[in-house]
A and B are shown apart, each in its own frame.
Chain A
Amino acid sequence: DAKTTQPTSMDCAEGRAANLPCNHSTISGNEYVYWYRQIHSQGPQYIIHGLKNNETNEMASLIITEDRKSSTLILPHATLRDTAVYYCIVSAQGGSEKLVFGKGTKLTVNP
């Protein structure tokens, strides 16, 4: 079973920041937090990952709480093309083992 809990759906206005929460209260010290997204009828796409520190790349920012029990993925300026299902995954080995997906959050970006 997935070790994460995410809201089923969220809406965001185009151009605004989208903040997607994830709870992972049972995360272990050696487990990373990964985010993937899946646009309709495509394969999942990697977004970002982190262990303890906040991370930023060209796609998004990842904020991990100090106790590591939750995190937030931030899309700073959402576009219509960001409409997708976003998956938060915890994994000790990262990409070197199977990924356990939950149902994710369906983000809809509205014009």
Chain B
Amino acid sequence: DTGVSQDPRHKITKRGQNVTFRCDPISEHNRLYWYRQTLGQGPEFLTYFQNEAQLEKSRLLSDRFSAERPKGSFSTLEIQRTEQGDSAMYLCASNGQGGTIGETQYFGPGTRLLVL
């Protein structure tokens, strides 16, 4: 078990470009979460999946953001027409069976996005 992995670790893009991030959860985990963290703030929830179903989306997830988890394994987060305000660390987390009270979330190392 190598933990949650995210790719790329760093991304620099120009305003208006599209970017896509990938998250590979721990293999047996069926719940996957995306968070965003800006400088000096704690992580903020964006969305989560149980298997391939996207169960909740934050109002932070504007129309320019889309997340998928097509086969219930890895997930992608795409940002279209990036803006400078999208610059942040994007974190992915996963956990196992869902519905289990007290179950912890395991976080990946994050993807740091800088929009110029």
Beta-carbon contact of A99 and B102 below 8 Å = no
CB pair A43 B110 closer than 8 Å: yes
State which of A32, A41, A85 has its C-beta within 8 Å of the C-beta of B102: A32
Interface of A is mostly: loop
Interface size for A (C-beta < 8 A) is 24
**B42 contacts A43, C-beta separation under 8 Å:** no
Stretch at the interface among A17-25, A64-72, A73-81, A88-96: A88-96
Q: Which residues from B are CB-within-8-Å of A95?
A: 95, 100, 102-105
Contact A99 B45 (CB under 8 A): yes
Residues of A within 8 A of B (CB): 2, 32, 34, 41-46, 49, 51, 85, 87, 93-96, 98-104
Binding site for A on B (CB under 8 A): 4, 31, 33, 35, 40-45, 48, 56, 58, 91, 93, 95, 98-110, 112
